[in-house]
Chains A and B, each alone.
Chain A
Amino acid sequence: MPRRKDIKKVLMIGSGPIVIGQACEFDYSGSQACKALREEGFFTILVNSNPATIMTDPDMANITYIEPLTVEMVTKIIAKERPDAILPTLGGQTGLNLAFFLMKQGILKKYGVESIGASVEAISCAEDRELFKKAMQEIGIDVPRSGIATTVEQGLKIGLGIGFPLILRPAYCLGGSGGSTAYNKEELEKFLYKGLETSPVHQVLVEQSVLGWKEIEFEVMRDCVDNVIMITSMENVDPMGVHTGDSIVVAPSQSLTAEEYTNFVNLSKRIIRRVGITGGGANIQFAQNPDNGHIVIIEVNPRLSRSSALASKATGFPIARVATKLAVGLTLPEVMNQITGKTTSFFEPTVDYCVFKICRFTFEKFPRAERVINTSMKAVGEAMSIGRNFKEALQKGIRSIEISRFGFGADGKDKITDEMLAKPDNGLIRLIKDKIRIPNDERLFYIRYGLKAGLSIDEIYELSRIDRWFLDEMKELVETEDEIRKFRNNDAEKEIKVPLDLLKEAKKEGFSDRQLAYLLNSKEDKVREFRKKQNIKAVYKLVDTCAGEFHSKQPYFYSTYETQDEGRPSKNKKVVILGGGPNRIGQGIEFDYCCCHAAYALREEGTDSIMINCNPETVSTDYDTSDRLYFEPLTLEDILNVIDLEKPIGVIVQFGGQTPLNLAIPLRKAGVHILGTSAENIDIAEDRQRFKQMLHKLDLLQPENGTAFTFQEAKQVAEKIGYPVLVRPSYVLGGRAMEIVYDEATLEYFIKEAAEVSGEHPVLIDKFLEDAIEVDVDMIGDGEAFVIGGIMEHIEEAGIHSGDSAMALPTYTLSQEILDKIREATYKMAKELDVVGLMNVQYAVKDDKVYVLEVNPRASRTIPFVSKVIGVPLAKLATKIILGAKLKDLGFTKEVIPKHVAVKESVFPFNRFPGVDIILGPEMKSTGEVMGIDVDFGRAYIKSQIAAGQNLPRKGNVFISVRDKDKRAVVFIAKKLRDLGFSIYATAGTATALEKNDIKVLVLPKIAEGRPNILDLMKDGKIQLVINTPSGRIPRQDEVKIRSQVILYNIPYTTTISGAQATVNGIEAMAKKDLNVKSLQDYHKKIKSQIPNPLPGRQAGKIKNGKNKH
């Protein structure tokens, strides 16, 4: 049926900031949806608070709002834009929940907005536990025995009735947050409290545990005439008990018989029909008892999800695009399959490879969190790998997550050595067994240790309940490893002598050159040279949706070791873009945004873009972002293989974050041309010593510093420059293991930790500039001309990682003189480094002096933010410059200083790591960001806070407790709050300081000394805002308790004085006048008049024949 004509304007809701459980997969789905809607001629309005997304690019939707995703703000957008329909299924749980609340509150009805893709009924049926259970029972599908609790007492009664173990799931929560497993009454009670608090509707499902059962997922789509298709099955390698977002997942399922498979398909069809999705897709999760095949349904997501992104990338089927078209009334046979170019979307993709998804965790960032995984998702990112068998996919998958491992162990980095495993003592066996039994991020490696230590497949199965088929595949890898080791040379310089058949077999099983080098006692490049000489080379196969049955027009590629190469490289001029790999703290969607822009720019310039990346959540791994996509790990070996085949004119390393940048030198050594800023100059910026020399030459200031390998050296450096000092390892991302140290005793401790992370590089020690203002600058240069994109002032003082700090563009307290100094320094350095492309500089400003903290000759985390604020696509311009264009030709010759103010705020995963203190420091902890944009700083800041999930009050009670140092500064803040009508609670010390300044304060006892104390007040909902600055490195007990309670009850908080000041400004601004919405396009209109030559937009660029993918 042709698309609906009664709808003209469609509102799309994005998913907001990247958080655990909701990452860039919704940028992928949202951008595909935007494109699909435009293809069909709809007027599209988009709202999302996350500026780092492709979907919020001003040319994706007709009107783009970067505003907080709250009912209040979206209602304002609806009132202003009057859309005919809302598409809530592409913005993750956030989008769905928001749409649901808009429906419940009658706002959609009031403005005559229809929910397309999933009706109110469908959403309720899938999301409301009670309705869902009833619906499933109606169609004869078993659900785990369960009950809904709205109080702890009720939950206990239900739980004790079902029996332990029990799974607790709070309703309407994404990524299973608050979900937990209770083994006894005490735990049940504890988790009920937590779950009820976490659930926005205060409901918890108490459920029979199907721990250890197989977890099987199906992706299903259905159109308005009831055509239903399966996209793929997926089997979780980790059985039930581990959140599917944390699980290792394979597609398709590996251990189901044809009959079982058909049965799952049949159930899936019944479910999608019963739930009532009439134009979209759903993800259905089942659990199956491995002993008798009994199936129960776990849940249905009536929307695009992380799993659907994976299914999409695993099969080549663009689920989001098709779902959008179905939502506007088209049927599956009417939507073309763009991969084959000749079949329609009404078919079921089939594969001739094995897909492996593995997660990236960041427990190292939260040392106090328990290093286990369970039903509450903790992974911050994921990678997908493809192989012709499970073994190859597994090893590529481990390489892809960039944890410095090069396969399934045997790479010289195993924690437990082969010698220890050859004669394991009881303690070691116990440790291995524990690590296999209790799911954790290192379990795969412990399975290997177990196999090497002589545990049988059956023993490991009993411990882990991981299907024996997977375990035996792992055992095969261990056997091959042992086989290879037999040909080990004693002398590393000797020639490699491994039999070719074995080498071929090893490559087919995914062994990397790095692993082979370790096993054979050789070097990676020697192994590579050896096998290339023997003609053992990677070939490329296709992801084509059809297992080769049809010729495909636009497939993507994966490497394997087989007989025939299907790579078919073109003869065109081409450039390789290295992506950023899996999301992690410090490297996320911002870099994917830049990589996508690089691909768009190359297309505009008529150069073929070749993307290498392995993150299935991203837009960069979408089939139509680049001309050719290689789904490969970002390691030297895997990249060189692609380069050998494609022979590009060069490689762009400056957009994918630290991952590709770290590969610049090795790539150059292997003879690859690095485009843009030279590898040599990248090294100057990265190498501490060379960098210091450069600053000296340019007469620029740097905090006094030194390097050290040992504690003794570090002590000398610290004494020379004076405490406090900042200690950090070289070549790391996101401030890993970075610490501010005030005395020698702590220095010793942290030097040890930093040295461990730093490896063969020295530890860096800088003078820490207390209370300095930090500034971030993004700049673009073409080697001759340099233009600043934006100067951002951090709201939190120096010492807090720039990725965690809120920042404002334009700056709001810096004097013209300081700004000029910053500009001068930036241009000087850019010139010296001969920057071609992007550069980011971090400065600290103290006592009117400007210190250079660091220079990154690459796209920074703030590029998308700056681009959106100033209305100039910096990454795209940078790509064109890298290809040879000049800033002058591109019409960007002058720094844009917007009249509006934008604030970028970070979002933290503290709610996922109970027990972790929420204070900020030099080690980055945030997973995502939001942007608040408005006419002045106060309003922009408050929007950023609301968007980040802080439900800032306009009145009520504030609790203030600050360290001595901050007591003077807090007086002013408290006064303002009092004037705004807030009541102030404080601890004794802070209260004294305030009372001295005539501020009325209610004094609260220390937690141990009386009740009601602050914890009680928070629990009772009597505290609306908490201002609490940490007393020192080792915080007081009370502080930690207060701060963790803040997270539990989602009370707005700030842990810095500068943050408190900005918050109070914002509350004041909000009190004066209600917040309003304004589109990005409207903001940009004002700027456009500032820029002399209008910038070439995406549509205006050159598009080569046949390159236009729409």
Chain B
Amino acid sequence: MKAILMLEDGKSFAGEGLGVEGEKIGGVIFNTAVVGYQEMMTDPANAGKILVLTYPLIGNYGTAPKFNESKGVWLAGFVIKEKSRIFSNWQAKQSLDDFIKEQNLVAMSQVDTRTLAVHLRQKGEMLGIISTKNFEAKELLAKLNDFKKKPPESALPKISVSRPLHRGREKAKYKIAILDLGITNSVIRQLETMGCSITLLPYNTSAQEILSAKPKGLIISNGPEEDAGLKEVVDNIKPLINRLPILGISTGHQILAQALGAKLTKLKLGHRGVNYPIHNPASYKGEITVQNHGYVVDADALSKIKEVKVTGYNLNDRTVEEIEGKKLKIIGTQYYLASPGFNEVNSVFKKFIKMLTKE
């Protein structure tokens, strides 16, 4: 099965279709991580995107349900260089092929994904259409144009829980509410490891409803950026500031910053990978972080908000990666709060939990 990826600037890439037949439009992003394809595919933050992997050998260790970050794949399309024909790992349950098919994903391989990545680096992230049915450049570009004219849709109703859902321990010292904008299982697992009681709330839960659940703290989760449903979330969060300790992760961090009055700017090329250095401006110490975002909080707007300090910059391009308001009891991390290892918890979660105890 032949397949094509056509970018909105007219550049196209031919390849072999991997998954189901179809035609899908989405923002084309690339991720430079070497491992973690299943996690990236099932990360709701990538909803509606055409995900390109720069590492050329994919599928080597198969897939297993335990590595899903959410209940399924939210991608519009998936583009790789070479798909392994067998898989080899003691934990694997299914091949990547079968996984892709089961998830009804339009995917393609045999693409020079390095060239594609370099193109996006030079031109910026843009829309693309992936198709196994139609190879006419004109028609594909016309479809991309039509798509741009359509009013944006929100993926959040599908991604988020539809009603409050309980996870973790019934009774615990720390009762945490998570505003689910596309929460990943790895975050939930870490909170469970810390012994938290967790309530997942629908993305559009109002401030009042959140407060009435009486959580000790609120986490605004990671999830897709640029979603039509996010504006409502910002408005819902505003009244909560200074009333609840809040931790915003990635998109949640952007919501938090906007609720504080800051603005977002779009990056020419998003930060998408597992090797991003952040550093604290007050020291030489930093961390290597996992990132997956195309927007950042504008530093200038942020500097006018006195209650919040920038505590982490991206060392490569000096964009804001972490904010903290000690008095307001808020933390925002633009990067992912990845677990440092099996059964271990990211230190930011520990810091947040500490914040909860200091009444």
Residue numbers in B under 8 Å from A262 (CB-CB): 338-342
Residue numbers in A under 8 Å from B193 (CB-CB): none
Question: Is the CB–CB distance between B32 and A225 below 8 Å?
Answer: no
Residue numbers in A under 8 Å from B92 (CB-CB): 257
Task: Please judge, given known A-B contacts A227-B286, A258-B38, whether A389 and B342 are in contact too, CB under 8 Å.
Answer: no
Question: Is the CB–CB distance between B85 and A347 below 8 Å?
Answer: no
Question: Is the CB–CB distance between A255 and B54 below 8 Å?
Answer: no
Most chain B Cβ neighbours within 10 Å, of A230, A352, A388, A546: A352
User: Which single member of A260, A290, A292, A549 contacts B117 (CB below 8 Å)?
Assistant: A549
Question: Is the CB–CB distance between B284 and A227 below 8 Å?
Answer: yes
Chain A minimum-CB-distance residue to B275: A348
Residue numbers in B under 8 Å from A562 (CB-CB): 112, 114-115
Stretch of A110-118, A465-473, A748-756 on the interface side: A465-473
Stretch of A12-20, A263-271, A592-600, A1055-1063 on the interface side: A263-271
Question: Is the CB–CB distance between B35 and A257 below 8 Å?
Answer: yes
Task: Please judge, given known A-B contacts A259-B342, A389-B57, A468-B88, whether A225 and B283 are in contact too, CB under 8 Å.
Answer: yes
Say yes or no: is B253 at the interface (Cβ < 8 Å to chain A): no
Task: Please judge, given known A-B contacts A347-B275, A352-B54, A547-B117, whether A265 and B341 are in contact too, CB under 8 Å.
Answer: yes
User: Which single member of A344, A551, A563, A564 contacts B121 (CB below 8 Å)?
Assistant: A551
Residue numbers in B under 8 Å from A344 (CB-CB): 277, 315-316
Residue numbers in A under 8 Å from B87 (CB-CB): 469
Query: A8 vs B302: C-alpha distance in the bound complex, in angstroms?
Result: 44
Question: Is the CB–CB distance between A343 and B315 below 8 Å?
Answer: yes
Query: A346 vs B117: C-alpha distance in the bound complex, in angstroms?
Result: 22
Question: Is the CB–CB distance between A352 and B340 below 8 Å?
Answer: no
Q: Hey, what's the 0/1 contact readout for B74-105 against A, CB within 8 Å counting as 1?
A: 00000001101111111110000000000000
Task: Please judge, given known A-B contacts A227-B285, A256-B35, A348-B274, whether A266 and B88 are in contact too, CB under 8 Å.
Answer: no
Query: A564 vs B12: C-alpha distance in the bound complex, in angstroms?
Result: 13
Say yes or no: is B276 at the interface (Cβ < 8 Å to chain A): yes
Say yes or no: is B273 at the interface (Cβ < 8 Å to chain A): yes
User: Which single member of B57, B64, B274 contacts A354 (CB below 8 Å)?
Assistant: B57
Task: Please judge, given known A-B contacts A348-B274, A350-B273, whether A333 and B56 are in contact too, CB under 8 Å.
Answer: no
Chain B minimum-CB-distance residue to A468: B88
Tell me if A's interface is mostly helix, strand, loop or mixed. loop
Q: Which size class do A's interface residues fall under?
A: 35 or more
Query: A353 vs B338: C-alpha distance in the bound complex, in angstroms?
Result: 25
Residue numbers in B under 8 Å from A123 (CB-CB): none
- The count of residues in chain B whose C-beta lies closer than 8 Å to any C-beta of chain A is 54
Residue numbers in A under 8 Å from B36 (CB-CB): 258, 261
Say yes or no: is B295 at the interface (Cβ < 8 Å to chain A): no
Say yes or no: is A419 at the interface (Cβ < 8 Å to chain B): no
- A136 CB to closest chain B CB (Å) equals 16
> Which residues 263-301 of A have a CB within 8 angstroms of B?
263, 265-267, 269, 290-293
Residue numbers in A under 8 Å from B316 (CB-CB): 342-344, 347, 550
Instruction: Work out how many contacts link A and B, with CB atoms closer than 8 A.
Output: 169
- A739 CB to closest chain B CB (Å) equals 48
Q: Hey, what's the 0/1 contact readout for B108-131 against A, CB within 8 Å counting as 1?
A: 000011110110010000000000
Residue numbers in B under 8 Å from A1005 (CB-CB): none
Question: Is the CB–CB distance between B276 and A547 below 8 Å?
Answer: no
Question: Is the CB–CB distance between B342 and A263 below 8 Å?
Answer: yes
Question: Is the CB–CB distance between B341 and A549 below 8 Å?
Answer: no
Say yes or no: is A1002 at the interface (Cβ < 8 Å to chain B): no
Say yes or no: is B307 at the interface (Cβ < 8 Å to chain A): no
Question: Is the CB–CB distance between B288 and A229 below 8 Å?
Answer: yes
> Which residues 8-65 of B have a CB within 8 angstroms of A?
13, 32-36, 38-39, 54-57, 60-61, 64
Say yes or no: is B211 at the interface (Cβ < 8 Å to chain A): no
Chain A minimum-CB-distance residue to B278: A346
Chain A minimum-CB-distance residue to B59: A469
Residue numbers in A under 8 Å from B60 (CB-CB): 254-255, 469
Query: A293 vs B316: C-alpha distance in the bound complex, in angstroms?
Result: 35
Residue numbers in B under 8 Å from A469 (CB-CB): 60, 84, 86-88
- A288 CB to closest chain B CB (Å) equals 10
Q: Hey, what's the 0/1 contact readout for A563-591 against B, CB within 8 Å counting as 1?
A: 11010000000000000000000000000
Task: Please judge, given known A-B contacts A266-B340, A389-B57, whether A257 and B121 are in contact too, CB under 8 Å.
Answer: no
Q: Hey, what's the 0/1 contact readout for A342-377 against B, CB within 8 Å counting as 1?
A: 111011111111100000000000000000000000
- B118 CB to closest chain A CB (Å) equals 5
Question: Is the CB–CB distance between B35 and A476 below 8 Å?
Answer: no
Say yes or no: is A303 at the interface (Cβ < 8 Å to chain B): no
> Which residues 455-473 of A have a CB within 8 angstroms of B?
457, 467-469, 472
Question: Is the CB–CB distance between A472 and B315 below 8 Å?
Answer: no
Question: Is the CB–CB distance between A267 and B32 below 8 Å?
Answer: no
Question: Is the CB–CB distance between B57 and A390 below 8 Å?
Answer: yes
- A420 CB to closest chain B CB (Å) equals 28
Residue numbers in A under 8 Å from B117 (CB-CB): 352, 547-549
Task: Please judge, given known A-B contacts A347-B276, A350-B33, whether A547 and B55 are in contact too, CB under 8 Å.
Answer: yes
Say yes or no: is B344 at the interface (Cβ < 8 Å to chain A): yes
Task: Please judge, given known A-B contacts A258-B39, A388-B81, whether A468 and B86 are in contact too, CB under 8 Å.
Answer: yes
Chain A minimum-CB-distance residue to B85: A472
User: Which single member of B57, B85, B279, B340 contacts A333 (CB below 8 Å)?
Assistant: B279
User: Which single member of B57, B64, B114, B284 contacts A547 (CB below 8 Å)?
Assistant: B114
Chain A to chain B contacts (Cβ below 8 Å), 16 pairs: A225-B283, A254-B57, A261-B35, A267-B341, A291-B90, A293-B90, A293-B91, A347-B288, A350-B273, A354-B56, A389-B57, A469-B86, A469-B87, A546-B32, A547-B54, A548-B117
Name the 4 nearest CB pairs between A and B, nearest first. A266-B341, A258-B36, A348-B275, A564-B115
